[in-house]
Amino acid sequence: MIDQSSMRAAIDEIQNADPAVELAAICSHDGLVMVSTSETRDDAEVVAAIASELLSKGRLASTELELGALHSELIFGEQGGIFLRVINDEIILVVRVGLAVRVGATVQQMNRIAGRLAAGF
C-alpha cells in the first residue's frame, strides 16, 4: 500500500515543478480523492469526479480502437487541460494545467512518479 506521505510528496513535486500546474491529485478510479494540492476540497472533488469519468471513457475508447490497456490521457480546452496517468488498478494521478504548461516535461514527470508509486503499491 502506498502511504499518504509518499503520495503527498509526489503531488507536491509535480505542483512545484511547473507554475502552470494548477492542481495535482491522486484519486481512486471511482473518483475518491486520496490527496490533493487544492486549497479547497470541493475543487479537488470536482477534478477527481471528472477524472473518473474521463478514465471510464478513455478505457472504452482504448478497447474499441484496440490500443491495449489505457496508460494516460491528455485533454486540452481553450483555458487549459487535464492530464491523467494510471498508476495501478486502483488509483490515478490527475493534473490540471494552464496553457503555459511544459507538456513533455510534465508528462515525463507524471510517468516517473506513477512508476515510483506503482512500485511501492
Cβ distance 24 to 95 under 8 Å? yes
CA 38/CA 72 separation, integer angstroms:
21
- HSE (CB half, 13 Å, CA atoms) of 81? 14
Domain 4-119 annotated CATH 3.30.450.30: yes
Contact 28, 34 (CB under 8 A): yes
| Helix segments in 65-102, DSSP class H | none
The stretches of 25-102 forming alpha helices (DSSP H) are 41-64
Beta carbons of 24 and 11 less than 8 angstroms apart:
yes
pTM above 0.85, yes or no: yes
Cell numbers 477524472 correspond to 51
Return the amino acid letter for 45. Answer: E
Per-residue pLDDT of the chain (121 residues; tens, 9 = 90+): 678 899 999 999 999 999 999 999 999 999 999 999 998 888 999 999 999 999 999 999 999 999 999 999 999 999 999 999 999 999 999 999 999 999 999 999 999 999 999 987 5
